[in-house]
Amino acid sequence: MTLNIKGKVAVVTGAGRGIGRAICVALSRAGAAVVAVARTTEQIEAVASEITGDGGKAIAIRADIAEESDVCALFDQLKGRFGRLDVLINNAGQGRFGPVEEFSAADFDQVVAVNLRGAFLCCQHATRMMIPQRDGYIINISSVVGFKGYPNQSAYSAAKHGVMGLTKSLAVELQKHGIRVSAVLPGGVDTDMVRAARPDLDPSVLMQPEDVAQTVIYLLSLSDRAAVDQIYIRRRGSQPF
């Protein structure tokens, strides 16, 4: 596969650990300059140091994407540092789980704020940079719960269903500007969130964050002639579709 991102600028949210970290490393190895974004400064600085220590290009910018002021500041820094944006990976997410009759409205609001509102804000600011370029790729990391339902995951599922609606609408709206929008919907991946949501799963059967990162690289390797709307990747042995 011929990668199209060598020398381009990629922003990854939720970059401090797990899937986000793996995507940052994969993008760097493909030749992109990586902007690692998360709320925890120490984590993203460690990711950026790992990349630069391996000969890649990366910077860390601390931001809580649920806060509009943080997102504005993030993209202001991005413009000042690079002057362009080629790839946005909306990976930041938060899972809070429990029976619906006991789930607080505050927890529901927080899950939606991070997973859906934050993705919207980042997409909005990214498109303001990408539209004048007539080029760009937005990849939203959704989840199997973006089209399936699981017990005790009503808030997280609602937010990820919302991410899918956002992705589908933007894919249509932005294609006239040369911007592609896709969603990746992983099943069970060996992350802290999955371990909290599904303690019944044996960690040895879960996918690794690098499996999701490879899927992102696949999407970015496609020619401009191709557009992929969504990719559902599941752990081997789980229920198809």
**Catalytic-labelled residue, pool 137, 150, 156, 218:** 156
Positive or negative, the CA dihedral 125, 129, 132, 137 is negative
Position 143, amino acid: S
Tokens of 48: 């950026």
Cβ contact 79:87 at 8 Å:
no
Beta bridge partners of 90: 140
Our answer to whether residue 150 is catalytic in this structure is no
CA distances from 96 to 102, 106, 107 (A): 12, 11, 7
**CA-CA distance, 116 to 131, in Å (whole number)?**
22
Burial label for 33, CB within 10 Å (0-12, 13-18, 19+), is buried
CB atoms within 10 A of CB 168: 14
DSSP 8-state assignment for residue 179? E
Structure-block tokens of residue 45: 């600085």
Closest CA to 182 of 149, 241, 226, 236: 226
Q: Which residues are catalytic?
A: 156
